[in-house]
Each structure stands twice: as structure tokens, then as C-alpha cells.
């Protein structure tokens, strides 16, 4: 973008300076321009003329420009005069370097710093601490430490910019830094007073550096952005969260009423030195006790870099040996994102290099399935003698029920006759005979009914010999199988190995099917993916949203909402302290931004999404194929032991297991009392 050309511009020494193209968007204080004829220099021209104090401060900073400790800083080199009025200064330009937040954010890192690993982040964090250490050694305090104030090169070299806001001590006066981003301000600075009323200290810079290092290592998460333990907790402003020392990852997180977000690193995943630095930096009494200085941070990060090891599962993963396991694999296994690229990730269709391995695994599985000795027989029915026993018992019970039923029927008929005889004379012989018969039939009916309910007693009494015989048989079979322990162990291991191989083959097949469906879905939603890619390229840290101030944008960044794509996904709706009016303005801005998107039907659909899908698929199938190879090797190691079991021994053992299961079925049937 070319800004309005400023023609009459000279340096403080009277040298003519010709400004070129405007670089980037205008900032809060001024605009950056290229300087024609000087590839390594740019000019910052303020929107308003410089005042006396500002001129004194910048002049002093210019005098420090040759200090070797500030060689990687974009220090003011000389003042610039526009139309006779001091309006800016010249400073170094670090071509090819990119703002630190583009490295911290996994979304932008994939685009701006492809193929980097975790060890690169640790290296950059170390250089970050070293750069701030040099500034402090030169007697300066940065004050406004933030993610946009540092540039990172492809080799990890760190440059500090916006040096004109440094706090400077000169001629007995302190020229304070009156700006700062809320998410990088120490708790003691969140008082509501103007930042220009504070004398900043290296300790304040140490807090901000701790936040920057945390964001680098924890994939752009803020140390104070956690999940409240109380879901009904009222919304808190960003400054209030920091002021309350709600470090979500520390040992006091629960006491502060917060916990770390899911699918994130924990302090236990770091080296001991880094854990200590973070705990001390974000401790509630850190302002009184003192935070770790830059030298402590640099030393801890250097030691941490030497403690990194390669993940045995994915060679692109690096993690601290003290963690004991790869946290990136753990996060991915729990359904989290892939923060680092696969060593095999490529655009376009995926070639399944392991397909031949899967086919060999299938053939091996078929071969070993035939060699399995069955030990479970789910379709076994009770033995004939057990069936006959229950049939005889059921016949006996049916007879008792029949006797009882006929007795009660005859009792009813005789009762009628008894009533007839009763109407004649009570001392009639017929009445006495009928009454006696009634009593006998009533007794017989009750006896039959009682016996018909004695099924458990009949089973227990008549089945007792069978229970004893089956129990003895069960014990004998168990002892027989136990005596062949080495054969049983071999067959058990073989069965487990075959089951494991079958499971892995199924998982690999499902992964291939899922991947194909995912690619088909990406192509079917080409416009949606192009729009998402377009929005992901728009960083909220580098744009101006009408009527949305730095505090609100800092709150978004604090919650991990760094791109327009994050806004569209609605993540800001759950951010504490975000007023509804600001939400409405963000929505309006997002709608206007989306209206500028133009779909290109000729462009490949969802290139980034295809890369992600391929990357995820290759990670998954690589692990599965490694496990497949191990499972196949396991079967090979079992082959000699299997070959020692002759076919006759195998058949005998299988028959013993069948007899054992049959006996268990019989005993289970005999145990039924109803």
C-alpha cells in the first residue's frame, strides 16, 4: 500500500531523506515508511509533531543506538524533520522477520513457519530472554512487552522493535512508558491508574516475558486463561483475572477457583527449571519476592533445550525427558489438534505406503486363525441326562398338578351332592359318606398342589448324584488342563496375538475409509473451506475494528481468539468480561469482512484442510502400521512354541476344553432351582 508521499524530510544532521512506500497499516502513534536507497532502514513518522520531552527521550535513545548490547533492537538512529518540524526517526529494518505472535499461534505458524518443531520454539524463547536481558544490561526498561513488539527470523533470531516506547532514565529524569497491552501487565499494574503514573521495573518486564514464553510453549494459550471451577461464577474483566493471580496451570490453581483448559500442556510436561520459573513468575507474592530475571529465564531455557528428546512414535515431536511421555501424542490421542506437522505430510492424495503391509497382515491372520484351538463353545446345550432329569421332574410335577386339579373338580361336584343330602337329613348315611369324601378330596387337592410347587426340592434331591459326578469331572478336567500349563500359556498368548492383529487391521481399514470420506467432504464444501482460509489469514492483532479498542482485542487474544476465523466459530461468545455491545460490533465487522470474500472455483478446494486431513491420516496409519509390524513379529516369535504342540495334543486339549465347558453348562443347569 502506498501512502501519501512526504517530500520534504531531512535527518537531524541535515541529510535529505526520501521516504518510499508505506509499510503495513498505520499504528496508534505513527506510520512506517521505507527509506529509498537504504534497504536496511525504515522511518517512523508520528501522526502529531514531537513535543520537547519526546524529542529529549528520542535523542537519548539515538545516542544508545551503537551500544553492541542493543544490536538486535530496532533502536532509533536519528531524528527526522518534516517541513521543519521534528516528526519521527529512522531505525533498522529486519527484512524477512515476522511478528512473534505468528509463531506462537498454531494457525498462523502452519502458514508462516512451516515444518518447525517444538525445539525451535524453545530456541526462540531462549533468544527472547537473552534479548530482554541485553536491554536491561544497557540500563533500559522495555515497559510495553508484547507479542507484536518482537520479530522472529527463519533461524530463530529475535529482534525487538517499538523501542521508542522504552522507559529511559536520562539527566536525572525518568521518561516513562505510558502504554501496554493488558494481558502482559503484571498484577500490580492492574490498578485502574494510568500506566504513565508508574515507574516500570525489570521485574514488570519479567512478568510479561513469562507470558510470552508461556504462549510460545503452550501454543498461544495465556497462563491466566483457565476454566472456572464454579460454572455460575460471574464474568470477570481481564485485568481482574490477572490481579487475582488466577494462574490456571500452577499448584494454586484450585485454590484460585480455576483449572487449566482441556487438551493443553501442563507444567508437568516441562523441564524442572521451566516449571520453577513459571511458578515463581506467576506466584501471588511474586511482586514482593521478586520474579526470575532474564538470566534465570535464559539459563532455564538453555537447560531445557538440552533436555529435549525425540518422540519414538512421531519423529517431528520433541518433548522434555522429565515428562516421561510425549504430550503432543497424548493431546492428539485425546482428540486434540496436531500442533506440529507430520514428517510425511504432503499436499494432494495420500499414497498408502503401508497397504502392502496390511495385506500381508491379513494373510497372516487367516493362516493363524486356522491354527487357533477353540476354548470357548457358546452354543453348548445341557447333556442328555440333565435334559432327561428335568423332563422326568416336569412329568412328576405335571402329575401332581393333575391330581390336585381333579381333586378340586370332584370336590366341587361332591360338595353339590353334599348340600343336597344336607337338605334331606343331617343324620342321613349319604350325607356322612359325602362329607367324608369331601374331606378326603380337599386333603388330596392340597397335597397335590403342595407337591407341584416342590420343584427346587426335586431338583436338589434327584440331581444330587449328577451334581457330585459333574463336580468331580470338572475338578479332574481343570487339573488335566493345568498339568499342560506350557501348552495353555502358548495357546493363550497365540490367541491374544491373533485378536490384537485382527483389531489393528480393522482399525487401519476404518482409518482409510474415514480419510476418504473426509477428503470427499472437503471437496464438497470447497467454498466454505476457502472462506475459512481467507479468515484465518486475518489476524486480529494486525487489523483495526471500528469502535473496538485495544482492551477488547486483548481480551480476545487472552482467550485464544486470534483470527477472524476464530470469531466466526463463535469462540468469543464464552469469553468472560466481553460486553454485548462489543459482541455486536465484532459480528458486524465480521459480516462486512465476509462480504469481501470472493470464491474462486478454479482454486483447489481446502488446501490447508486437505493438508491437515492427510497429516492426521499419515500420523494415525503410521502408528497403526508400526503396531501391525510388531503384532506380526509377535506371531513369528510364537511359531516355534506352537510347532511343539502336535496335532494330536492340540485336538486332545481342545476336547478337554469342550468337556470342561460342557460340565460348566451342566452344573449351571443343575443350579437352577426354578
pTM over 0.75? The answer is no
Which has more pLDDT, 351 or 575? 575
Task: Specify which of 116-125, 257-266, 520-529 reaches the highest per-range mean pLDDT.
Answer: 116-125
**Residues whose CB falls within 8 Å of the CB of residue 473, separated by 6 or more in sequence, listed in order:** 659, 663
Nearest Cα to 278, choosing from 255, 260, 296, 263? 296
**pLDDT band (50, 70, 90) for residue 566:** confident
Q: How far is CA 669 from the centre of its chain?
A: 50
CA distances from 423 to 287, 411, 416, 432 (A): 114, 18, 11, 13
Whether the CB-CB separation of 552 and 568 falls below 8 Å is answered with no
Question: Kind of pairing, strands 258-259 and 173-175?
Answer: unpaired
pLDDT at 527 over 50: yes
Helix (H) or strand (E) holding 393: helix 384-424
- d(CA 143, CA 167) in angstroms, rounded, equals 6
pLDDT at 275 over 80: yes
pLDDT for res 423: 62
Beta bridge pairs of residue 88: 45, 80
**C-alpha dihedral, 21 to 165 to 245 to 264, nearest 10°:** 30
Which has more pLDDT, 462 or 651? 651
- d(CA 306, CA 519) in angstroms, rounded, equals 40
Average pLDDT, the chain: 83
pLDDT at 352 over 50: no
Nearest Cα to 140, choosing from 40, 195, 194, 63? 63
pLDDT for res 225: 86
Q: Is 478 left (phi over 0), alpha (psi -120 to 50) or beta?
A: alpha
Quickly count: other Cβ atoms within 10 Å of residue 658's Cβ.
Answer: 16
Angle between helices 485-524 and 607-643 in degrees, nearest 10: 170
pLDDT for res 576: 60
Give the model confidence (pLDDT) of 362-417 as tens digits: 888 887 877 777 777 888 888 888 777 777 777 777 776 776 777 677 767 766 66
* Overall average pLDDT of the 610-620 stretch: 78
- d(CA 464, CA 129) in angstroms, rounded, equals 84
Nearest Cα to 147, choosing from 115, 180, 186, 120? 180
pLDDT for res 425: 56
Give the model confidence (pLDDT) of 308-346 as tens digits: 999 988 888 999 999 999 999 898 888 788 888 765 544
- d(CA 548, CA 561) in angstroms, rounded, equals 14
Give the model confidence (pLDDT) of 411-443 as tens digits: 677 666 666 666 655 566 666 666 677 677 677
In our burial notation (b when 16+ CB lie closer than 10 A, e otherwise), range 196-215 reads eebebbbbbbbbbbbbbbbb
Whether the CB-CB separation of 158 and 131 falls below 8 Å is answered with yes
SS3 category, 288 = helix
Give the model confidence (pLDDT) of 139-193 as tens digits: 999 999 999 899 999 999 999 999 999 999 998 899 999 888 888 999 999 988 8
pLDDT at 644 over 90: no
Whether the CB-CB separation of 495 and 634 falls below 8 Å is answered with no
Domains of the chain, start order: 1-93 (3.30.200), 96-333 (1.10.510.10), 342-525+605-674 (no CATH)
* Overall average pLDDT of the 128-136 stretch: 96
Nearest Cα to 592, choosing from 570, 567, 555? 567
Helix (H) or strand (E) holding 82: strand 78-82
pLDDT for res 342: 65
Quickly count: other Cβ atoms within 10 Å of residue 288's Cβ.
Answer: 8
What DSSP character marks residue 33?
A: E
DSSP labels, 640-667:
HHHHTS-HHHHHHHHHHHHHHHHHHHHH
Query: How would you class 644 by CB atoms within 10 Å of its CB: exposed for 0-12, middle for 13-18, buried for 19 or more?
Result: exposed
SS3 category, 154 = coil
SS3 category, 15 = coil
pLDDT for res 350: 41
CA distances from 145 to 177, 198, 203 (A): 11, 15, 12
Q: Which of 195-199, 200-204, 565-569, 608-612 has the weakest average pLDDT?
A: 608-612
Nearest Cα to 494, choosing from 650, 289, 330? 650
* Overall average pLDDT of the 444-464 stretch: 68
pLDDT for res 3: 46
Whether the CB-CB separation of 257 and 328 falls below 8 Å is answered with no
Whether the CB-CB separation of 328 and 118 falls below 8 Å is answered with yes
Instruction: Give the percent of the chain with pLDDT over 90.
Output: 32
Amino acid at each position: 500500500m502506498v501512502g501519501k508521499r512526504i517530500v520534504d524530510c531531512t535527518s537531524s544532521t541535515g541529510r535529505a531523506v526520501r521516504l518510499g512506500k508505506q509499510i503495513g497499516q498505520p499504528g496508534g502513534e505513527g506510520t512506517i515508511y521505507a527509506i529509498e536507497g537504504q534497504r536496511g532502514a525504515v522511518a517512523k513518522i508520528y501522526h502529531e509533531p514531537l513535543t520537547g520531552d519526546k524529542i529529549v527521550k528520542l535523542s537519548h535513545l539515538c545516542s544508545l543506538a551503537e551500544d553492541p548490547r542493543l544490536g538486535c533492537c530496532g533502536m532509533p538512529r536519528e531524528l527526522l524533520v518534516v517541513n521543519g518540524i521534528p516528526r519521527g526517526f529512522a531505525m533498522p529494518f529486519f527484512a524477512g522477520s515476522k511478528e512473534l505472535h505468528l509463531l506462537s499461534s498454531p494457525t498462523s505458524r502452519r502458514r508462516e513457519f512451516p515444518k518447525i518443531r517444538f525445539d525451535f520454539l524453545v530456541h526462540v524463547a531462549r533468544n527472547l530472554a537473552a534479548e530482554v536481558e541485553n536491554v536491561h544490561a544497557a540500563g533500559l526498561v522495555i515497559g510495553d512487552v508484547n507479542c507484536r513488539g518482537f520479530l522472529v527470523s527463519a533461524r530463530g533470531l529475535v529482534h525487538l522493535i517499538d523501542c521508542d516506547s522504552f522507559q529511559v532514565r536520562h539527566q536525572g529524569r525518568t521518561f516513562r512508558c505510558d502504554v501496554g497491552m493488558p494481558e502482559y501487565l503484571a498484577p500490580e499494574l492492574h490498578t485502574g491508574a494510568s500506566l504513565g503514573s508508574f515507574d516500570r521495573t525489570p521485574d514488570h518486564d519479567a512478568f510479561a516475558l513469562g507470558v510470552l514464553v508461556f504462549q510460545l510453549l503452550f501454543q498461544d494459550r495465556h497462563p491466566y486463561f483457565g476454566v472456572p471451577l464454579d460454572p455460575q461464577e460471574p464474568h470477570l474483566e481481564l485485568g481482574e483475572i490477572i490481579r487475582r493471580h488466577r494462574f490456571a496451570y500452577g499448584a494454586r490453581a484450585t485454590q484460585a477457583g480455576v483449572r487449566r483448559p482441556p487438551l493443553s500442556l501442563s507444567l508437568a510436561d516441562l523441564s524442572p527449571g521451566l516449571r520453577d520459573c513459571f511458578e515463581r513468575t506467576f506466584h501471588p507474592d511474586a511482586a514482593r519476592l521478586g520474579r526470575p530475571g532474564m538470566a534465570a529465564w535464559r539459563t532455564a531455557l538453555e537447560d531445557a533445550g538440552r533436555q529435549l528428546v525425540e518422540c519414538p512414535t512421531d519423529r517431528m515431536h520433541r518433548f522434555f525427558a522429565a515428562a516421561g511421555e510425549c504430550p503432543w501424542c497424548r493431546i492428539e490421542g485425546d482428540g486434540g489438534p496436531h500442533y506440529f506437522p507430520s514428517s510425511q505430510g504432503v499436499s494432494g492424495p495420500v499414497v498408502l505406503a503401508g497397504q502392502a503391509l496390511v495385506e500381508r497382515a491379513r494373510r497372516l491372520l487367516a493362516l493363524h486363525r486356522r491354527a487357533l484351538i477353540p476354548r470357548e463353545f457358546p452354543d453348548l446345550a445341557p447333556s442328555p441326562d440333565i435334559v432327561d432329569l428335568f423332563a422326568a421332574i416336569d412329568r412328576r410335577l405335571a402329575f401332581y398338578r393333575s391330581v390336585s386339579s381333579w381333586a378340586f373338580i370332584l370336590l366341587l361336584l361332591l360338595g353339590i351332592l353334599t348340600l343336597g343330602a344336607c337338605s334331606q337329613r343331617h343324620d342321613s348315611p349319604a350325607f356322612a359318606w359325602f362329607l367324608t369324601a369331601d374331606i378326603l378330596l380337599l386333603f388330596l387337592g392340597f397335597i397335590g398342589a403342595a407337591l407341584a410347587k416342590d420343584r427346587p426340592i426335586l431338583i436338589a434331591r434327584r440331581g444330587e448324584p449328577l451334581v457330585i459326578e459333574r463336580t468331580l469331572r470338572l475338578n479332574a478336567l481343570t487339573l488335566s488342563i493345568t498339568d499342560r500349563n506350557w501348552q495353555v500359556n502358548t495357546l493363550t498368548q497365540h490367541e491374544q496375538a491373533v485378536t490384537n492383529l485382527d483389531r489393528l487391521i480393522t482399525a487401519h481399514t476404518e482409518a482409510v475409509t474415514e480419510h476418504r470420506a473426509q477428503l470427499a467432504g472437503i471437496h464438497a464444501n470447497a467454498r466454505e473451506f476457502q472462506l475459512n482460509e481467507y479468515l484465518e489469514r486475518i489476524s486480529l492483532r494486525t487489523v483495526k475494528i471500528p469502535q473496538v479498542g485495544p482492551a477488547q482485542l486483548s481480551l480476545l487474544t487472552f482467550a485464544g481468539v486470534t483470527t477472524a476465523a476464530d470469531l466466526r466459530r463463535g469462540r468469543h461468545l464464552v469469553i468472560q468480561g466481553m460486553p454485548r455491545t462489543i459482541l455486536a460490533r465484532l459480528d458486524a465487522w465480521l459480516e462486512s469482512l465476509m462480504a469481501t470474500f470472493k470464491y474462486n472455483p478454479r482454486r483447489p478446494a481446502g488446501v490447508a484442510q486437505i493438508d491437515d486431513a492427510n497429516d492426521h491420516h499419515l500420523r494415525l496409519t503410521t502408528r497403526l502400521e508400526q503396531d501391525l509390524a510388531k503384532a506380526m513379529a509377535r506371531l513369528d516369535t510364537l511359531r516355534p512354541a506352537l510347532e511343539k504342540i502336535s496335532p494330536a495334543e492340540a485336538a486332545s486339549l481342545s476336547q478337554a476344553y469342550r468337556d470342561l465347558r460342557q460340565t460348566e453348562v451342566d452344573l449351571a443347569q443343575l443350579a437352577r432351582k426354578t
